[in-house]
């Protein structure tokens, strides 16, 4: 397979992010509603692209990313696999990004959303304080 240039990868990732914005899962839409109007005033990007990690030509599309603290939030459906997701998380961590993962099932579970929002809030506050 021929290597793609950074501009080709960037175009592909932007198209993927555009599709995610236009067709969010029910869980992404629910979490987005809460993150974008969160009372703290924190601004999460949805979805957010990270390019050129440590000089390598590749990229990652995060479901949500709080840029000032580099806290990423990923929602995992059935298609997510521990191996590839673990590699992405390690690459993100290598660039100072903390990735929080929540299953779609947990997002839908009654009473869990406030707990998830608290976990996100704790991570963001912890990064702001350090």
Domains and CATH numbers, the chain: 6-129 (3.40.960.10)
**Could you tell me how far CA 96 lies from the centroid of its own chain?**
14
Say if pTM beats, i.e. exceeds, 0.75.
yes
Secondary structure class of 70 (helix, strand, coil):
coil
**Helices 26-36 and 113-129, packing angle to 10 deg:** 50
pLDDT in tens, the chain (130 residues): 456 665 666 676 667 767 767 778 889 888 888 887 655 556 777 666 665 544 444 567 788 888 888 899 989 876 655 566 777 788 788 888 899 999 999 999 999 999 999 999 999 999 988 7
């Amino acid at each position: 397979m021929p290597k793609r240039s950074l501009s080709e990868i960037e175009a592909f990732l932007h198209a993927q992010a555009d599709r995610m914005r236009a067709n969010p899962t029910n869980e992404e839409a629910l979490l987005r509603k809460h993150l974008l109007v969160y009372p703290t005033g924190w601004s999460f990007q949805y979805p957010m692209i990270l390019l050129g990690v440590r000089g390598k030509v590749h990229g990652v599309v995060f479901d949500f990313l709080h840029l000032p603290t580099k806290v990423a939030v990923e929602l995992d459906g059935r298609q997510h696999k521990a191996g590839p997701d673990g590699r992405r998380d390690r690459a993100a961590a290598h660039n100072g990004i903390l990735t929080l993962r929540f299953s779609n099932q947990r997002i839908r579970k009654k009473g869990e959303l406030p707990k998830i929002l608290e976990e996100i809030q704790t991570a963001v506050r912890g990064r702001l304080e350090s």
